[in-house]
Amino acid sequence: MEDGTVSDGTVSQDESQLRTLWRWREGIAEASNQFGGVYKYDVSLPLPVLYELVDAVKARLAEHDLISFDDKSKPVVDAVGYGHVGDGNLHLNVSVRGYNKEVEKVLEPFVYEWIQEHKGSISAEHGLGFQKKNYVGYTKSDVEIKLIKDLKNHYDPNGILNPYKYI
């Protein structure tokens, strides 16, 4: 906060406050589901643009007239982001009243293209699952993908660690 990278925030003052902050943080995923469902993206971005993805997604959803907290006829309730500012990890959550192909088409590949344009990665702390395997080329070259697969196979030749991940 001192250098201006973060304009606002909270730092716990003691163990009790730390536990409370973490309980709130862990409750975001559950709270985001209360309207019906959530499209989740675990991505990484350079710090100067970390939260801009959330704003860009909200603007795109509004441009397509799909988002409103109050208007229940709109499929999207809101888009929120939280994560690990220290390592550029953002959890983008798009809270929806129900899963919808129109919303999916507006989000993808837009989210991945935006991340590519801003030199981020489409997958951060949770690995790359099968849902993202067709999009990995947005932020990794063929050589990088092969290297990552080779490293995983070297350390996990039997495929027992994170077994349902593409990489």
In whole angstroms, give the CA distance from residue 26 to residue 45. 21
Higher-scoring residue by pLDDT: 155, 29: 155
Q: Which amino acid is at 52?
A: E
In whole angstroms, give the CA distance from residue 127 to residue 107. 20
Q: Which amino acid is at 72?
A: K
Strand, helix or coil at 55?
helix
- What are the structural domain ranges in the chain? 15-125, 127-167
Assigned token pair, 62: 């509004």
Residue 1: the pLDDT is 60
Q: Helices 110-117 & 52-63, crossing angle to 10 degrees? A: 140
Residue 152: the pLDDT is 86
**Portion of the chain with pLDDT greater than 90, in percent:** 49
Query: What Rg do the C-alpha atoms of the chain give, in angstroms?
Result: 18
For 67, which DSSP code?
B
DSSP one-letter string for 115-140: HHHTT-BS--TT--BTTTTTTGGGTS
Q: Could you report the per-residue pLDDT of 24-81, keeping only the tens digit for each? A: 888 887 777 788 899 999 999 998 899 999 999 999 999 999 999 999 999 999 999 9
Q: Which residues pair with 159 in a beta bridge?
A: none
For domain 15-125, give its CATH number from 3.30.70.2740, 1.10.274.10, 3.30.590.20, 3.40.50.2300: 3.30.70.2740
For 81, which DSSP code?
E
For 69, which DSSP code?
S
